Structure 1
Amino acid sequence: MGIKILHSADWQLGKPYGRFEPDVRGALTEARFDMIDTLGRTAAEHDAQHVIVAGDIFDTEGPEDRTIVQAISRMSRHGCRWWLLPGNHDFARNGGLWDRIRHKAGDKIVILSEPVPHEFESGAWLLPAPLVHRHNLEDPTALFDTMETPGASLRIGLAHGSIRDFGSRGETKNQIAPDRAKRSALDYLALGDWHGALKIDARTWYSGTPETDRFQRDDPGHALLVNVEMGSEPVVTPIRTGRFQWLVRDWTVNNQANFDAECDQLLGAIDAPNTLLQLTLAGITGLSDRIAILGRLENDVRHRLRLLDIRADDLVGRPSEDELASLAIEGTLGAAAAKLNDRIEAGGPEGLIAKRALERLFVEYNRQELP
């Protein structure tokens, strides 16, 4: 007796991405809907008849109608069956989101808004632990202990919550016993809430989000292909489903050549149009080098990537003696440059302003020198 399922979670459809420009926001939003098709195709390719989604299918309990219709229509065009569990973002309540979906969804979509076991194949039972509040003080999976599954060969749990303390990165409520699979005689426990694929033990996994949505890890989104056989540990295979990669890089650079080498290496290793990069620069360079580094980022790299977030306050550009000498012959410009350099050396808030002003002075001076 065995069953093959695709385990997913944390779709968070309708996520607003409010801090991004409209073109980036639109691309990220559409990628989350496209991800549903990716899951459907992946299930078909691997002969998995069931996709179980461990909560937070929607980003809020009141998504727009378009978000709901898009989700249902995307799921409905695939041959697999979709099992949807309310999480803390889209918790179940009477007259709420899940009633709206139930009225529109067909037979391929099963809403698990009640803690009632379902026999989704002969002898294989799915035990859901839907959240009915955003934060629950009790373990939402405690009911698994007493759920009756007559004639069960396989028991698969589906829940949303924190099985360990993730600190500020995860929910501190909805705590799940770390040995829940063993306690409740589960062959597999599919979890949602943590946004990266994570193995807790041989029978307990977080699938992570199928489409990464934050600067937190290099890995794109995944789903888990799970082959559960009676009497054996499940075979779990992560499968990439995400389009976008969110990278965080911290570079210490000392000159333009050093920066260009780092930059070329990165661009050669990524799928640039589908990459969002948060780049922090630190170090001390010549002022001309700093201007050239930021110029390449703004005029070249930014246009290659889906998004570039530059943090360069700790990249210090100090004018060389030759640079200062080139301005010194300019009379008033040279005097201004010297004063600004003195302010920079003194440090403090005025030093930061002076640094930006001196850079601007050099930019304008070099611009007028161009033929």
Structure 2
Amino acid sequence: MLQMILTGLLCGGLLGFVMQRGRFCLTGGFRDMYIAKNNRMFYALLIAIAIQSVGVFALIQAGVVRYDAGAFPWLGTVVGGYVFGLGIVLAGGCATGTWYRAGEGLIGSWIALVTYMLMSAIMRSPHAAGLNAMLKEYSTAHNSIPETFSLPAWPLIAVLVVVTLWLVRRELMKPKRKVASLPPRRTGLAHLLFEKRWHPFVTAILIGLIAILAWPLSEATGRLFGLGITSPSANILQFLVVGDSKYLNWGVFLVLGIFLGSYIAAKASREFRVRAADAATTLRSVAGGLLMGFGASIAGGCSIGNGLVMTAMLTWQGWIGLAFMILGVWTASWFLFVRPQRKATLRAAAA
């Protein structure tokens, strides 16, 4: 139990610290792909995926960790990924982003986090057993992309790495925009850790390495998976309500560590402050959290579980779930940002 607590908090703390300091927000990144035609954060996600894929498959080949992709629940992945994408725009952050932004003192994220945990717990209760059983009927035998085509994993990993390197190189060759900044107040390591703006690609490398670390640490406690947010979040609420220690696993301490690591980073960088949410933000946070919990549960993962981990494991669930997640973000962005802006522009032109 002590090992589970310490390693879970350590891994989660590192992830929360890195994501907070690197402002690693997939919701904003997916939204920018559509609105601003800026793919930088998506390329950063590909970096983290590629690094994790190389590392974890090397661990599997060495016999350090085990993994079985299982079947592919395609209907749940498609519908859940899309609904999750809608939810994270309303909530103002994905599952992991909501945890780390809660650690910054953002009340809206706290509200979204509570409703996300609540819906995730409901979806794992007997009340949702019928829906979950129905969705499982719409599955294919192979979730693993290499197994589907009877190919080894390494050639596909090589393609992923090459494509990622090409996209990253092209992005880095673009002219750099000068960003005004205040004179540094700190020097040395303190400046690098708590003041200097982190490049998203550097942040992605660190996240990829932490994702690799999560696998052996988690499997050492009997949990055969890497980073995951939705099930552990539901387990926290179930433990608080029922009081059964069976809900406490490595993932629970991982997500608690994300909150703790983010809080430490925000306090040390002077970015922590309690920010109240207005009525409109509160309602969006509630709705977003509910959609996040529902979507991630039926999809089998959130932006981390599917978008980072299952993609790295070369599964259909990961890549198709990620695609529909992005589509959901774009749909919500059109209704919340693009459409109102166009209406305002037309009104201004007609005035």
Q: TM-score range by the shorter chain?
A: under 0.3
**Which structure is higher in RCO with an 8 Å CA cutoff and minimum separation 6?**
2
TM-score w.r.t. the length of structure 2 is 0.24
Task: Give the number of the structure whose residues are more often helix, by fraction.
Answer: 2
Bigger proportion of residues as strand: 1
